[in-house]
Structure 1
Amino acid sequence: MSIAVIGGIKRLETHYRREASKRGINLVIFNVASRDMDQKLRRMDAVILFTGQVSHNARTEVIRAARRHQIPLYQHHSCGICTLRDCLDCCLDANKQIQA
């Protein structure tokens, strides 16, 4: 399962990756808005958006891309490890329900 994280804190990247690898998830982190977000998010199974760490324009672009490609989107204001952990667990639970 591949999940994109938009936003977050740069110094927590290694912790984000560690939590994802514990759950068998491939995590792709975008700390800053980049061009062609639509193309980059296309192959993701879910998107986690930390709204407190991105610009309004980046948030709008990510939401638009997630809707266009029917990708589950989880938005949270805080960007701590516990928040990410909860989001990853929600993604895994949703994926299990879809496969069942």
Structure 2
Amino acid sequence: MCAALIGGMDRLKREYIDTAKRGGVKLKVFTGKENKFANQIGSCGLVIVFTNKVSHKARKEVTAHAKANNIPVKMLHSCGISTLRKALQA
């Protein structure tokens, strides 16, 4: 499965990817500093948004893209590795 992570911390980017890989998920990480990343998400099976680390505009852009492409979205306030693990398990 492929998933996209929006938000999070730059310093944890490698750990997000490694954690997802251990769970059998290919993860695309966008920490929120990229421009127009909704088009780069593509057709993932899941979009995870860490809401405390992303702007309202970015959140709206991602949810609109996901809704248009029938992609489930999980919005979580925390941005830790354990939060990502729980989001990928459920």
Q: Give TM-score scaled by structure 1 length.
A: 0.84
Q: Structure 1: 5+ residue runs without aligned partners?
A: 91-100
Equivalent AA in structure 2 for residue 80 of structure 1: G
* Cα-Cα RMSD: 1.1
Residue 72 of structure 2: aligned partner: 72
- Structure 2 residue ranges without an equivalent (≥5): none
When Rg is computed on C-alpha atoms for both structures, the one with the higher figure is: 1
Inter-partner Cα distance in structure 2 for 1:16 and 1:8 = 9
Percent of aligned positions that are identical: 39
1:36 to partner: Cα distance: 5.2
Letter in 2 for 1:21: K
Q: Which residue of 2 aligns with 1:8?
A: 8
1:18 to 1:65, Cα distance in 2 relative to 1, 3 A: same
Q: Which structure 1 residue ranges, 4+ long, deviate > 4 Å from structure 2? A: none
Q: Distance in 2 between matches of 1:56 and 1:36?
A: 14
Q: How many residues align?
A: 89
Q: Normalising by the residue count of structure 2, what TM-score does the alignment of the two structures yield? A: 0.92
- Check whether the contact 2:66–2:72 (CA below 8 A) recurs between aligned residues: yes
Secondary structure of the corresponding residue to residue 70 of structure 1:
coil
